[in-house]
Amino acid sequence: MDQQHLGPDQARCYTCGRVVDRLAPACPHCGRIDPTGRRKRQQSVQGLIGLAGVLVFIVVAVAIWPTDDPVVTVDGPTQPVVEQRVIDPAGFETILRERAKRLRVTATDVAAAFETNGVAARRRYGRPLTISGIVATVGVDVEGHEHVTLQGEPIDVWCAFWPGDSDRLATLHRGDAVTISTFGVVRDITVIARACRLTK
């Protein structure tokens, strides 16, 4: 019997090739379970639908997960804006944007704070700052990033600069008094001020 002569409710068994009912749980001729592969296809489709549902759930959960960590973005070269994600009582997420008020500190204060208690120092200085200090070194790291090191006690503060400050950095010398704006200070091997600009 050719394929085109099969009725709408008939199919061929994958094992013996004889005609069986499409919904038959087993072939009546050879005993093969699921002779047309219908259950396997059904399980594959159900598995794909379940996987898609899990992926959609994960994407939605990540998108609406509340966070208390402020996000600092740049609105112009030295105008940081702090964004705070807040979930209101109705369950809607709101992003509060406000101009960050820069804390004014010295390089010595920052270095001493990180040496005393790194967690407290990160909380206090991990936001937009204006740091004043005396230039210890001006240089370029192995990746070509320009930096200035400010004298601190007991360690110096390493300030990584935005591209484009090369002309101003080239005029600095050891011992110069400078004021630098930064988006925050972290501790790695040394104390690092990120995304700096010379303000004075």
Per DSSP (E only), the strands in 5-154 are: 10-12, 19-21, 71-74, 80-87, 93-99, 103-106, 129-140, 146-150
pLDDT at 76 over 50: no
**Structure tokens, 14:** 């994958």
DSSP per-residue codes, 131-184? EEEEEEEEEE-TTS-EEEEE--SSS-EEEEE-TT-HHHHTT--TT-EEEEEES-
Question: What CA–CA distance (Å, rounded) separates 136 from 148?
Answer: 7
Q: What is the pLDDT of residues 48-67, one digit of tens each?
A: 888 888 888 887 776 665 54
CATH code of the domain containing 135 = 2.40.50.140
**Structure tokens, 109:** 């204060």
End-to-end alpha carbon distance in the chain: 92
Indicate if 90 and 107 belong to the same structural domain: no
**Structure tokens, 1:** 């019997």
Indicate if 152 and 181 belong to the same structural domain: yes
Indicate if 133 and 54 belong to the same structural domain: no
H helix or E strand, kind and range, residue 42: helix 38-64
Q: Which ranges in 84-147 belong to alpha helices (H)? A: 107-116, 118-125
pLDDT of residue 191: 80
Q: What is the pLDDT of residues 25-46, one digit of tens each?
A: 888 888 888 878 777 777 777 7
Indicate if 47 and 87 belong to the same structural domain: no
Indicate if 138 and 186 belong to the same structural domain: yes
Indicate if 108 and 176 belong to the same structural domain: yes
Indicate if 89 and 128 belong to the same structural domain: no
pLDDT of residue 94: 52
Indicate if 41 and 86 belong to the same structural domain: no
Average pLDDT over residues 137-154: 86
Residue 181 neighbours by CB distance under 10 Å = 21
pTM of the model: 0.49
Indicate if 120 and 148 belong to the same structural domain: yes
Q: How many domains does the chain have?
A: 3
- Length of the chain, please? 200
Average pLDDT over residues 142-171: 85
Per DSSP (E only), the strands in 23-79 are: 71-74
Give residue 123's domain range.
103-198
pLDDT of residue 78: 45
Indicate if 185 and 139 belong to the same structural domain: yes
Q: What is the pLDDT of residues 169-199, one digit of tens each?
A: 899 999 999 998 887 787 777 787 777 888 7
Indicate if 21 and 53 belong to the same structural domain: yes
